[in-house]
Amino acid sequence: MSATARKTAPNAEDIRARKGSTPLVSLTAYTTPMARLMDAHCDFVLVGDSVGMVLHGLTSTLGVTMEMMVMHGQAVARGLDRAMMVIDMPFASYEHDPAHAFKNAARLMAETGAGAVKLEGGVEMAETIRFLVKRGIPVMAHIGLTPQSINTLGGYKVQGRDEQAKAVLADAHAVAEAGAFSVVLEKVPQGLADQITAEVAIPTIGIGASAGCDGQILVVDDMVGFFTAFKPKFVKRYAELGPQAEAAIAEYASDVRARSFPADEHVFADQAPSKGPKT
């Protein structure tokens, strides 16, 4: 099942039209089962390159490949009927030049059925965003803390305080004017996020920004407590499924070692049970 074949899913223009309306709801997904759980509740689902850290144990998103994004995008598409699917362009798949970006964006959309791609960067990526949009590739922008630039940003720091604010604001205006249909604001001070939301004509999607943004997104494994290596300040844990799962695994291991699992109800008799005479 491809996202483009789904009749009820919103498209980029539908998301753009939600500016200043009911806040947009989004989460990341990397697998079919998780996509199914969030489909009825999210306006769009992001197949994030955070999959590298969350599911593959990488220390950053830089090692995520196009092949990984295609695989996880296809898995998520199978779990969606209602929500729009947006997919991250991985590191080094779009920065070289606009034509290279178009080739990879077109591949991601064609092979996964995504309704849009997301890429990181502001002023420096405006030309690429404009190039993609003119050729039919809807783009969600991502500014503020851009994890693919972690080596040049000096860590996962708040972006846009003091003199940095002018640069982040310029990034927001640049991506909006280039044709992005929305923009993610990551780890941006609340006041600046509110200013950007008021000034740009496209929806702002906050992650560590402000409740005043036009929408919010979180990494689902952070939100439900599956990913426990660290917890960003901006994450609210709505469940603690990681510890619950570990407790269940420990109980299973204990039952196996005690030979209390499998019990009689979990195994099969040597003879098939009689079905009895037909009446």
At residue 159, the 3 state secondary structure works out as coil
Model pLDDT, residue 150 = 79
CB burial string 134-162: b at 16+ within 10 A, e below: eeebbbbbbbbbbbbebeeeeeeeebbee
Model pLDDT, residue 279 = 58
**Look-up: residue for tokens 């709801």?**
25
For CA atoms 104, 179, 119, 54, the dihedral sign is: negative
Cα–Cα distance for residue pair 68/52, rounded to 1 Å: 9
Cα–Cα distance for residue pair 128/12, rounded to 1 Å: 18
Task: Please give the single-letter amino acid code of residue 196.
Answer: I
Q: How much is the pTM?
A: 0.93
Nearest to 28 by CA among 49, 15, 45: 45
Q: Is 146 within 8 Å of 190 (Cβ atoms)?
A: no
Q: Terminus-to-terminus CA distance in the chain, angstroms?
A: 44
Model pLDDT, residue 2 = 44
**Look-up: residue for tokens 């070289």?**
96
CB burial string 51-73: b at 16+ within 10 A, e below: bbbbeeebebbbebeeebbbbbb
User: Which positions are annotated as active-site residues?
Assistant: 186
Model pLDDT, residue 105 = 98
138's tokens? 């809807």
| Burial degree of 200 (CB within 10 A; 0-12, 13-18, 19+) | buried
Q: Give, in order, the Cα–Cα distances in Å from 194 to each of 14, 185, 218.
A: 22, 10, 18
What does pLDDT average to in each consecutive run of 10 residues of the chain (279 residues)?
Answer: 55 98 98 98 98 96 97 98 98 97 98 98 98 98 93 82 96 98 98 98 98 98 92 94 97 98 95 75
Task: Please give the single-letter amino acid code of residue 81.
Answer: D
Q: Is 213 within 8 Å of 230 (Cβ atoms)?
A: no
Strand (E) or helix (H) holding 86: strand 84-88
Q: Give, in order, the Cα–Cα distances in Å from 58 to each of 51, 119, 212.
A: 9, 20, 32
Model pLDDT, residue 87 = 98
At residue 20, the 3 state secondary structure works out as coil
DSSP-derived letter for residue 90 is P
Cα–Cα distance for residue pair 216/167, rounded to 1 Å: 22
Q: CA-based Rg of the chain, rounded to a whole angstrom? A: 22
Model pLDDT, residue 275 = 79
DSSP-derived letter for residue 259 is T
